[in-house]
Every structure is written in structure tokens, then in C-alpha cells.
């Protein structure tokens, strides 16, 4: 059933792309293709944590994805509720992370493909490790845990690089798929090509007015790594770069008459809701950047990739102490000339709700207000549009009345 | 010409009418009930009758409150955060921290002393500490909500309630009554529980209120017991305007007037 759904979705997008090619559609097509592979019986499959080196797995011919992604797919499709309930019936608390509850419930209901191997990553959250461990037990599947050090000292990088090497051997032993040197080299070249194009694309998004809008970049930064090491990632990043360059060249902004430049922290609300449209249409507020829309890592040495992959993994903004994340947020706020930030404070997430005070303080130093929404980004059952609308509208009124702006209040 | 502010809240619909100089001509508070449109019409009709003017003489209407988008004929809808700040500034100039406890939400608003909102925090998705909470507690105590204001007087036992969940707190109150605890002790305990929760909200936007001018608006500000408990929790004096429940509507009317000024 799911396979058919994604087959139809991919076919529809391929047809639409022939008619009208857009970067977002190309990106969405690749997501549909990934889902096709995940739900086909013809590919080796690895369910992972967020920070797994997907380019390596792609080079091995393993279809791989972080488990939270599937929770987001269910939420976007409006079907997460039944899986969340299933997990709750099994005893998982309603205030635990919705992404993890959704996939745990889906696995219990037989709606999650059975993997050949699982790879947990200790970053960005220990909840993710626990969820992957639980799923590995559910599937009776071999599990490898990448323990990602919080710091980038030489010994920490070497420690993680050795683990990644060992992970490749582990995956190979359990799937029968070897990592050949030429495929590895090719994958790293593709990763670096995608990186270059993404850097250019993000520079363009920083322009005033920005050619980017929320619908373009939604989930881009968190999802692009799934396609790294392949030509698809290069095509997607280049398509965005070219589209942003064309828009900028023609003086077209992502949100017509851009008045406010906003940053969305952590992850997007995945189920359908009208709040972004309301911000764009009623306030000409453009979400020009999501927190993970950034290239924070150096090119990978194709001849000796493991050190570079380890450095990239450690540099993930959510890894280690909150300082790294705060520094990253501040860098983006300054680069994108952000007027205000929206923190969804995803329920049950220690990164999301736990860091909100620290984020508020850090942004105050830059005189950038932040609004905390307190929403479960996965669970539409707890969504209260009126409450969030009031918070966001009041936030826009605060931004609008700040000195230097012509107030409309 | 006149300016109308309508605040459609979950418990009451309030209207305030201003004249061209910004002077309050009339104010009205009616229960929202199940039919929003009827409440809006009734509140509007009341202020028109009090001021003896016709609807045609209203130059602009601004709506606010959770039902702000349901007010027809409005110039614009503005959130209750902005409107309460404007209204509080007009009635209590120089207010820097405003606490608004309404029917289903509570807000702490940091202002610049000129009525402009600098920062705000709202209650999490929970009605604890709001007008609805007090309604439920009054029901459990079998008293009229208006009577709650002074029922804490004379309490001395410093009773604490262990739960702020409206459902659990109601059960706890029922148990306390069954145990023979005096009503004034229970009400004082409830007020302290609300105050503790609201004080935490205030601290999010003003970690230290010492030296700041603090005011309170919204229907719950009529409850002197809650104001006293909050004042004690924050260790500061809290000013309350004469008609705290119409502060939002007043702010809306002021915004209407400002927007029509040349």
C-alpha cells in the first residue's frame, strides 16, 4: 500500500517536473523516491539516527534514512495520529518526542519497513538512541551505535572516524554490500559538489529581499544529507542555487514585498497548518532560513574521507553542549539579517524546549526577539491554531512596533 | 466621530466607545455565551445606547480577543497583547509589566512605559490559573464566582494545593471540603497556587520586577484575593484599573483612533 502510494507520488512529480521544473519539486521528488526505496523489498535498508553518514551508506547501495523522517512523513500525510496512539497504548508517554512515538507506533502496526541493519547516533539526542534501540529490538535487527563525541579534539575525531570505519564493516557484514573504493571516492566528490552548490544557494538566500520563502526551504537542511554522495543531491542544490539566482536577478523576492525576515528554529511543524501562509500574506514575513539550513562543515577529502566525515558529524550544531548551537544560531541571525526568530519548542524535546531560555538570552544579545510556540511538531491532535495564531500575530505586532519601523498598530 | 473597540473573549465580550478626543464615552461587558455574533451585537448596542449615538457615527472599529476575526465591519483585528498594553498605558501611564488573566489564557507583557510591547509570555496549553480555573473552583466550593474575591480573608494556615490541573484541583478542593477545611483556607490556597503560576510567567519576561510598575487587567483582576496573592508572590505592588475587564477593548478603541488620525 505504502509502496504504491510513493510510486504514484513519484510518477506524478516526474510528470509535473517535465511540465514545470522547480527546485522544490525536484527536492520533493527525491524524497518520494527515497520513500519508494524504503518501502520496496528490492533494496537493502538501514534505519538510522539523524547524524549517520548517509553518503557512505548511499555509496554502499543501502537505502537509509533517519527514523524521525518517517514520523514527519506520516505527520505531513495526516496519518501520524493512529501511530502516536499506538505508541501511547503501548505505554510511551504522551509528552515524549512525537517523531519517535510515531515510528514506534508505525513499527508496532507493521507500517514501517523491516530493516537489514540499524544505526543509532548519540547526537542530536539520547531519545533518538533509545527509539532506535527499541526499534532494533522490535525488528530483531542488528544495531550499531555511533557514539559521537561532543568536542572536536584530534582524539575525538579519530575515535569517531574509527567507529565510522567499523560501522561500514558492520553494515557490510549484515547486508553483504561492500564499500568499494571507487564508489566511495565518487560519493565524496558528489558530497563536495552538493556542498559547493548549497553554499552558493544559502548565500543567495541571504540577499535582501531574499529569494527564499518557507515553502522552498522547509526541511531542506535536515533532509539534504540523506541524498549526499549521489548525483541527486548535486542536482537539488544546483537547482535551488539557479532558481534563487534567477529570482534575485529579476528582483523577485520569495515573499512579495518582504517586510520581515524570520528564522525558524529546529524543525518545522510537519502537519498541515495555515500559520506560515498567514505570516507571509498578512505580514509579508518571510522565513528566510531554518536553523539547519547551513553548510557548517569543510569539504571531505575523497582519498581519506573518514576524518572529514567524523569532523562533519561532530560539527553538527545540535551536537555537544548548547554553546555550539547558540553560536551557530547567532551566526545565521547575523548573516541573514534576521528580524525575529520562531522557536516551535517541540514538545518532549530536550533540545527544543530545554534550550529555549538559552536561545532567548543569546538572541537578546543581538536584539532579536524570539517567540516560543510550544507545539508538538508531529502531533496535529494537540494543535491549537487559535493559540498559536495569537502568539505569532502578537509577535509580528511587537516586531512591527520596534523603533525604526513605521508602526501600523 | 467615534471609535469602537470590541474584545471578544471566551467568557465575556467587551466594548468601549471613544469620542474623537479619545475620551471614554461608554463601556460594556456582556457574557460571550455560545453565540459570538449576538454577544458582539449586544455589547455594541449597549455602548451605542449609553452614548446615545448611532452606529453610523462610528468611524472605525478594531477588534481583539480570541474571536477578533469574527467581528464584522472592523477596520482591523489586533491581538489582545497589543490592545491590553495600549489600554493599560492609557489608564495607568508608565505601566511596565502588565498581567492579564482572561477566561482561558493568561499573559505577562513587558512594556516600555509608553504602551509599546517589548516582550510577552502566555500560559502553556493549559487553563490553570485562568478565569475558567476559578469558575471550576467556585463550582466545587458551591459559591458564586464573584464571592471568591474576599473569601480568603482571615485565612492563616498557609494551605497549599498540590495540583494546578483544573480537573485535579477541583477534586482536591472537594476532598478538602469533605475533610472539613474552612472555605477561606481553601480559597487562600487556590489564590496562592494561581499566583505562583502567574509569577513564573512574569519572571519569563521580567526576571526581577523590583522598581517596575506592575499592573493587572482582565476579569480575574476583579478578584482582590488573587491580586493580593500575586502581589505577595512578586513582592511588589500591583495596580488595577477600575474596570480591568474592559482594558483590552479600550486598547482596541485607542488603536482605532490612532489609525484614523491624519
Q: Say yes or no: B207 contacts chain A, CB-CB below 8 A.
A: no
Distance CA B221, CA B242 (A): 10
Q: Specify if A98 maps to a domain.
A: yes
Same domain, A55 and A19: no
Site of grid cell 490541573: B165
Task: Report the residue of chain B nearest A394, measured CA to CA.
Answer: B79
Chain B nearest CA to A409, separation (Å): 6
**A373: pLDDT strictly greater than 50:** yes
Same domain, A141 and A31: no
**A409: pLDDT strictly greater than 60:** no
As a whole number, mean pLDDT of residues A73-93 equals 94
Q: Alpha carbon of A196 to those of A191, A289, A301: distances in Å?
A: 9, 18, 14
- Mean pLDDT in chain A? 94
Q: Specify if A269 maps to a domain.
A: no
pLDDT band at A398 (very low <50, low <70, confident <90, very high): very high
Distance CA A251, CA A404 (A): 24
Q: Say yes or no: B252 contacts chain A, CB-CB below 8 A.
A: no
- The CATH number of the structural domain formed by B94-240 is 3.30.420.40
Residue B14 sits at φ, ψ, to 5 deg, of -115, 145
Same domain, A7 and A134: no
CA angle A284, A289, A290 (to 5 degrees): 120
Contact criterion met (CB < 8 Å) for A409 and B118: no
**A194: pLDDT strictly greater than 50:** yes
Distance CA B51, CA B176 (A): 48
Express each pLDDT in B126-164 by its tens digit.
666 787 888 888 888 888 877 777 888 888 888 877 776
Give the pLDDT score at B125.
65
As a whole number, mean pLDDT of residues B56-79 equals 95
Contact criterion met (CB < 8 Å) for A394 and B125: no
Tell me what percent of the residues of chain B surpass a pLDDT of 90. 59
Distance CA A374, CA A356 (A): 10
Give the pLDDT score at A115.
97
Ramachandran quadrant class, A52 (left: phi over 0; alpha: psi -120 to 50; beta: rest)? beta
For residue A122, give the DSSP letter. Answer: S
pLDDT band at A301 (very low <50, low <70, confident <90, very high): very high
Distance CA A106, CA A83 (A): 5
Chain A residues with CB-CB distance to B120 below 8 A = 394, 398
pLDDT band at B209 (very low <50, low <70, confident <90, very high): very high
In this structure, the number of other CB atoms found within 10 A of the CB of residue A196 comes to 15
**A222: pLDDT strictly greater than 90:** yes
**A190: pLDDT strictly greater than 80:** yes
**B212: pLDDT strictly greater than 80:** yes
**Do residues B102 and B10 lie in contact, with contact meaning Cβ atoms separated by under 8 Å?**
yes
Distance CA A141, CA A166 (A): 17
Is the model's pTM score more than 0.95? no
Chain B nearest CA to A276, separation (Å): 17
Site of grid cell 480591568: B244
Distance CA A93, CA B112 (A): 42
pLDDT band at B182 (very low <50, low <70, confident <90, very high): confident
- Domain residues for A25? 1-42
As a whole number, mean pLDDT of residues A311-338 equals 96
**H-helix segments, A115-224:** 126-139, 154-175, 181-205, 214-217, 220-223
Same domain, A138 and A154: yes
Q: Specify if A54 maps to a domain.
A: yes
Same domain, A10 and A101: no
CA angle A195, A197, A198 (to 5 degrees): 65
Residues 6 or more apart whose CB falls under 8 angstroms from that of A382 comprise A347, A375, A376, B125
**Domain end call among A164, A182, A200:** A182
Give the pLDDT score at A250.
95
**A199: pLDDT strictly greater than 70:** yes
Distance CA A122, CA A145 (A): 7
Domain boundaries, chain B: 2-86+246-260, 94-240
At CB < 8 Å, which residues of chain A contact B? 369, 372, 374, 382, 384, 386-387, 390-391, 393-394, 397-398, 401, 408-409
Express each pLDDT in A114-139 by its tens digit.
999 999 999 999 899 999 999 999 99
As a whole number, mean pLDDT of residues A342-369 equals 91
pLDDT band at A351 (very low <50, low <70, confident <90, very high): confident
CA angle B126, B129, B135 (to 5 degrees): 100
pLDDT band at B105 (very low <50, low <70, confident <90, very high): confident
Give the pLDDT score at A405.
63
**B183: pLDDT strictly greater than 50:** yes
Chain A residues with CB-CB distance to B78 below 8 A = 397, 409
Peptide bond into A209 cis (omega under 30): yes
More reliable by pLDDT, B205 or B148: B205
Distance CA A261, CA A278 (A): 14
Tell me what percent of the residues of chain B surpass a pLDDT of 70. 97
**Domain end call among A165, A182, A199:** A182
Q: Specify if A301 maps to a domain.
A: no
Per the structure, how many domains does chain A have?
2
Chain B residues with CB-CB distance to A401 below 8 A = 82, 116-117
Distance CA B98, CA A227 (A): 50
- Mean pLDDT in chain B? 90
**Do residues A192 and A199 lie in contact, with contact meaning Cβ atoms separated by under 8 Å?**
no
**B52: pLDDT strictly greater than 60:** yes
Contact criterion met (CB < 8 Å) for A398 and B119: yes
Residue B114 sits at φ, ψ, to 5 deg, of -115, 15
Which is the CATH superfamily of the domain at B2-86+246-260? Answer: ATPase, nucleotide binding domain (3.30.420.40)
Q: Which of B116, B122, B125 sits opposite A401 (nearest CB)?
A: B116
Beta bridge partners of A45: A63
**B166: pLDDT strictly greater than 80:** no
Q: Are strands B24-31 and B97-101 parallel, antiparallel or unpaired?
A: unpaired
Mutate to test the interface with B, among A397, A403, A407 (most CBs of B within 10 A): A397
**Do residues A55 and A195 lie in contact, with contact meaning Cβ atoms separated by under 8 Å?**
no
Residue B218 sits at φ, ψ, to 5 deg, of 95, 160
Q: Specify if A348 maps to a domain.
A: no
CATH number of the domain within which A99 lies: 3.40.50.11890
pLDDT band at B93 (very low <50, low <70, confident <90, very high): very high
Tell me what percent of the residues of chain A surpass a pLDDT of 70. 99
Express each pLDDT in A11-62 by its tens digit.
999 999 999 999 999 999 999 999 999 999 888 999 999 999 999 999 999 9
Give the pLDDT score at A92.
92
Distance CA A299, CA A228 (A): 12
Amino acid at each position: 500500500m505504502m509502496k504504491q502510494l510513493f510510486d504514484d507520488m513519484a510518477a506524478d512529480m516526474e510528470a509535473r517536473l517535465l511540465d514545470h521544473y522547480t527546485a522544490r519539486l525536484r527536492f520533493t521528488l527525491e524524497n518520494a523516491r527515497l520513500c519508494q526505496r524504503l518501502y520496496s523489498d528490492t533494496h537493502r535498508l538501514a534505519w538510522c539516527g539523524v547524524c549517520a553518514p548517509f553518503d557512505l551508506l548511499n555509496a554502499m547501495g543501502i537505502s537509509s534514512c533517519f527514523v524521525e523522517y518517517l514520523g514527519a512523513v506520516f505527520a505531513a500525510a495526516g496519518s501520524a495520529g493512529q501511530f502516536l496512539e499506538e505508541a501511547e497504548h503501548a505505554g510511551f508517554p504522551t509528552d515524549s518526542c512525537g517523531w519517535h512515538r510515531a515510528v514506534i507506533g508505525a513499527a508496532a502496526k507493521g507500517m514501517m519497513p523491516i530493516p537489514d541493519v540499524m544505526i543509532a547516533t548519540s547526537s542530536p539526542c539520547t531519545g533518538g538512541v533509545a527509539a532506535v534501540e527499541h526499534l532494533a529490538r522490535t525488528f530483531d535487527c542488528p544495531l550499531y551505535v555511533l557514539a559521537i563525541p561532543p568536542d572536536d579534539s584530534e582524539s575525538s575525531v579519530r575515535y569517531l572516524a574509527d567507529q565510522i570505519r567499523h560501522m561500514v564493516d558492520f553494515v557490510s557484514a549484515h547486508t553483504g554490500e561492500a564499500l568499494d573504493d571507487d564508489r566511495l571516492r565518487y560519493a565524496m566528490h558528489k558530497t563536495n559538489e552538493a556542498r559547493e552548490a548549497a553554499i552558493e544557494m544559502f548565500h543567495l538566500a541571504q540577499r535582501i529581499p531574499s529569494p527564499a520563502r518557507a515553502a522552498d526551504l522547509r526541511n531542506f537542511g535536515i533532509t539534504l544529507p540523506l541524498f549526499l554522495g549521489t548525483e541527486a543531491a548535486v542536482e537539488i542544490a544546483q537547482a535551488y542555487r539557479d532558481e534563487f539566482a534567477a529570482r534575485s536577478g529579476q528582483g523577485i523576492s520569495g515573499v512579495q514585498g518582504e517586510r520581515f525576515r524570520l528564522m525558524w528554529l529546529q524543525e518545522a511543524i510537519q502537519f498541515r497548518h495555515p500559520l506560515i501562509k498567514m505570516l507571509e500574506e498578512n505580514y509579508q514575513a518571510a522565513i528566510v532560513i531554518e536553523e539547519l539550513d547551513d553548510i557548517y562543515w569543510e569539504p571531505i577529502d575523497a582519498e581519506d574521507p573518514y576524518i572529514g566525515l567524523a569532523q562533519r558529524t561532530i560539527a553538527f550544531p545540535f551536537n555537544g553542549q548548547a554553546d555550539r548551537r547558540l553560536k551557530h544560531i547567532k551566526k545565521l541571525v547575523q548573516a541573514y539579517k534576521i528580524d525575529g526568530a520562531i522557536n516551535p519548542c517541540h514538545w518532549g524535546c530536550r533540545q527544543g524546549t530545554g534550550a529555549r531560555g538559552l536561545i532567548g538570552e543569546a538572541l537578546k544579545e543581538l536584539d532579536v526577539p524570539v517567540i516560543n510556540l510550544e507545539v508538538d511538531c508531529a502531533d496535529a491532535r494537540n494543535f491549537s491554531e487559535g493559540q498559536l495564531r495569537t502568539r505569532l500575530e502578537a509577535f509580528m505586532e511587537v516586531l512591527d512596533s520596534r523603533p525604526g519601523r513605521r508602526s501600523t498598530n | 466621530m467615534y471609535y469602537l473597540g470590541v474584545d471578544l473573549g471566551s467568557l465575556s465580550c467587551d466594548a468601549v466607545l471613544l469620542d474623537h478626543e479619545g475620551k471614554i464615552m461608554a463601556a460594556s461587558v456582556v457574557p460571550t455565551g455560545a453565540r459570538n455574533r449576538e454577544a458582539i451585537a449586544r455589547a455594541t448596542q449597549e455602548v451605542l445606547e449609553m452614548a446615545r449615538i448611532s452606529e453610523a457615527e462610528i468611524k472605525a472599529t478594531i477588534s481583539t480577543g480570541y474571536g477578533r476575526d469574527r467581528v464584522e465591519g472592523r477596520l482591523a483585528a489586533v491581538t489582545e497583547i497589543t490592545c491590553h498594553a495600549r489600554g493599560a498605558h492609557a489608564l495607568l501611564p508608565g505601566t511596565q509589566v502588565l498581567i492579564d488573566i482572561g477566561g482561558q489564557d493568561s499573559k505577562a507583557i513587558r512594556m516600555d512605559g509608553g504602551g509599546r510591547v517589548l516582550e510577552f509570555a502566555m500560559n502553556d496549553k493549559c487553563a490553570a490559573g485562568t478565569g475558567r480555573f476559578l469558575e471550576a473552583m467556585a463550582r466545587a466550593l458551591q459559591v458564586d464566582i464573584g464571592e471568591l474575591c474576599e473569601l480568603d480573608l482571615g485565612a492563616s494556615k498557609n494551605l497549599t494545593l498540590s495540583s494546578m490541573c483544573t480537573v485535579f484541583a477541583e477534586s482536591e478542593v472537594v476532598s478538602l471540603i469533605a475533610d472539613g477545611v474552612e472555605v477561606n483556607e481553601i480559597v487562600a490556597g487556590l489564590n496562592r497556587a494561581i499566583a505562583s503560576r502567574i509569577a513564573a510567567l512574569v519572571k519569563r519576561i521580567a526576571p526581577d520586577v523590583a522598581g517596575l510598575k506592575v499592573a493587572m487587567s482582565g476579569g480575574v483582576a476583579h478578584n482582590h484575593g488573587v491580586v493580593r496573592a500575586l502581589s505577595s508572590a512578586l513582592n511588589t505592588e500591583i495596580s488595577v484599573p477600575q474596570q480591568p475587564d474592559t482594558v483590552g477593548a479600550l486598547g482596541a478603541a485607542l488603536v482605532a483612533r490612532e489609525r484614523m488620525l491624519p
